Structure 1
Amino acid sequence: MALAQENNLTVVINFFLLGFQGGEPLRLFLFCLLLVIYCGTIYGNLLIITLVSTSKNLHTPMYFFISQLSISDILLSTNIAPKMLHILLNNGGTISFADCIAQFYFFGAIEAFECFLLSVMSYDRYVAICNPLRYSSIMTSASCVKLTAISWFLGISLVLVYTITTSMLTFCEPYVINHFFCDYVPLLENVCSDTSMVQLEIYLLSIPLVIAPSSIIIVSYGNVISTILRIPTNTGRQKAFSTCSSHLTVVSIFYWTIFSVYVFPTRGQTLIISKILSLLYTMFTPLINPMIYSLRNKDIRKAIQEISKKQKSRTVRKMI
């Protein structure tokens, strides 16, 4: 339970999430839209996970990592969407300090995991294109599981550092968070104690959390592009690029939204724009990711067709 000192009395903190303030028609429209997006996110990512786990053609390192990305997208949306939908219906809503810190932590941990996972996926594409003869010996099932476990461990442990420090800060009235979830900047606006320590921690942790993964991605794709350009035929270049185009698209969307909010925010950026950008990486990106991989990937489209045929044949057999 979080406590604050005010006039020598100990009081329990409950934050009030403002969400998207507006008329009832607007809030109902947003509620319906985001509910559809959330349901689509769960369905799309569960479909990817099911396909990868059941189709033998998809039992490869790349698809294993894609299924892990789908798991993290489901967790991210589920961490944000239910409370957001609730406050949309009620034009705001309270959240306890413990729930707020928990949401803040899980959001950070999942985003950190995705940063590490995307860098692992870029390394996978680097090995596949730049060193194809050794791909099967380097990217074994055991190494894929280890790389994923390390990504989860780093995301969970590193984010815990500044989450604990944030939870120990002193918060002051009116305990209002002008956002639809407990994000870093809106949360710290309620702090009336010194925040230099948590800001220093986040600054230092940005090196392993953001700079290192993005550097791995840049170096990996720099080598990948260099290798592709040396392929003599257009058909060979297109085939090589098609194996990493989906991942490159996901990486671009992910880092563009994250950097636009936290690293290079636009001058004069209003709260509404900040909330819209936050919606992009908390709700829309988890929805778009399975679409990108399914629409632009022949193997996944083929697996969907095979499952559809099996379902039709089962239905026909039952009818007979």
Structure 2
Amino acid sequence: MRTDRASEIIRLLGQTSIPSSENISAFSLNKTDCTQVVVPEEVFFTIAAVGILENLLVLIAVIRNKNLHLPMYFFICSLAVSDMLGSLYKTLENILIILCKMGYLKPRGDFETKMDDVIDSMFILSLLGSIFSLLTIAADRYITIFYALRYHNIMTLKRALIILAAIWTFCAGSGIAIAIFSHETAVVISFTILFPLMLIFILCLYIHMFLLARSHAKKIASLPTSTVHQRTNTKGAITLTIFLGVFLFCWAPFVLHILLMQFCPHNPYCACYMSIFQVNGTLILCNAVIDPMVYAFRSPELRSTFKKMFCCTRSNWK
């Protein structure tokens, strides 16, 4: 995030390649014996490019295959857009860092300040978009499992699009507001508290699912398509679990870094953790790479669509 210590930051960039989001912590590195872990810029750009390409393929597959024009796949597309924004955020940030090191950008120029705001907003938009996309996927799975017969009446395509429009409007407004007021402690706390709130909400859904599973199992078992429904619903719940686990593993270290640089930037122990910031940034990029693999592995329809795309065939797409 942006700080008022930009001149010292640029000076430090001549010694390290710390992304700008961690600049506030750079001043405490000299108070610890921990060596900063540096990830080569080529690694950043390669992982980011792969993540952008994979998620773009997911979007194209859903758009081209009308059989995938369902609420569930639109929610997956929302998560794919969030992952793409995360990859673009790290890519643009690293490009600015390189330009700063080469002397093409000024420490406190108007252009640099505006670009910093744009990059910060993109980061926040990516994180919030991922959180709310996962929440919608969780709610969609819940409705699918416990309101299977009424699912298509409850979660219509129009209603799903309205939900996504509301989510991204809120995320865009929040991203701009948080980027502007990122120096306020209350904003940082509100921003990071979304993590445990999301986890609690999804855990509550899971607990409720398990508590009602037995009673619903008897009702579903009486249906002719019970086996198919049970397999589909179980598979959807497992996919959601994988999404959630990957998201927490990849984003939690970065969010912890933001909290530490806000509350204890000069503490030696905090500084020691913040010395691995670039590793945490790499994990964000890995999230954008892993999610599309989960889509392709868990969804036969998407796998089939990818095969048709690569083989340049259009049969049975409509």
Q: Normalising to structure 1: TM-score of the pair?
A: 0.71
Unaligned runs of 5+ in 1: 7-11, 167-194, 314-320
Q: Does 1:54 align with 2:99?
A: no
Amino acid across the alignment from 1:54 = R
For 1:308 and 1:165, locate their aligned partners in 2 and report how far apart those are by CA, in whole Å.
Answer: 45
> 5 Å matches for 1:268-283?
269-281=272-284, 283=285
Question: Taking CA–CA contacts closer than 8 Å with sequence separation of 6 or more, which of the two structures ends up with the larger relative contact order?
Answer: 2
**Equivalent position amino acid for 1:284 in 2:** C
1:77 aligns with 2:70: no
Q: 1:202 to 1:272 in 2, by over 3 A?
A: closer
Show CA shifts across 1:231-255 (max 9, x none): 4789675543212322221111212
The equivalent of 1:217 in structure 2 is 202
Distance 1:276 1:240, change over 3 A: same
Q: How many residues align?
A: 269
Q: 1:88 and 1:206, CA in 2 relative to 1: closer, same or farther beyond 3 A?
A: closer
**Contact residue 41 and residue 286 of structure 1 kept, 8 A:** yes
C-alpha separation in 2, matches of 1:211 and 1:3: 26
1:161-205 deviation per Cα after TM superposition (whole angstroms, max 9, x unaligned): 332224xxxxxxxxxxxxxxxxxxxxxxxxxxxx5xx00233245
Q: Which residue of 2 aligns with 1:249?
A: 242
Contact 2:71 2:157 in 1 (8 A): yes
Taking structure 2 as the reference length, the TM-score comes to: 0.71
SS of the counterpart of 2:275?
helix
Question: Quick one: percent identity of the two aligned structures?
Answer: 21
User: Greater share of helix residues, 1 or 2?
Assistant: 2
For the residues of structure 1 that align with 2:3 and 2:231, how far apart are their CA atoms? 59
Q: Write out aligned runs for 1:1-320 (5 A).
A: 16=10, 17=13, 18-19=16-17, 30-84=40-94, 87=97, 96-166=112-182, 198-206=184-192, 209-228=194-213, 231=217, 238-263=231-256, 269-281=272-284, 283-311=285-313
Q: Which sections of structure 2, spanning at least 5 residues, go unmatched?
A: 20-36, 261-268
Contact 1:76 1:107 (C-alpha < 8 Å) held by counterparts: yes
Distance in 2 of aligned mates of 1:225 and 1:3? 46
Conserved 8 A contact 2:78-2:129: no
Deviations 1:14-55 (A, max 9, x none): 95254259xxxx98x833333322221122111111111111
CA pair 227-241 structure 1, distance change in 2 beyond 3 A: farther
- What is the root-mean-square deviation of aligned Cα atoms in Å? 3.6
CA contact (8 A) 1:105 1:159 kept: yes
In 1, distance between residues paired with 2:301 and 2:113?
Answer: 45
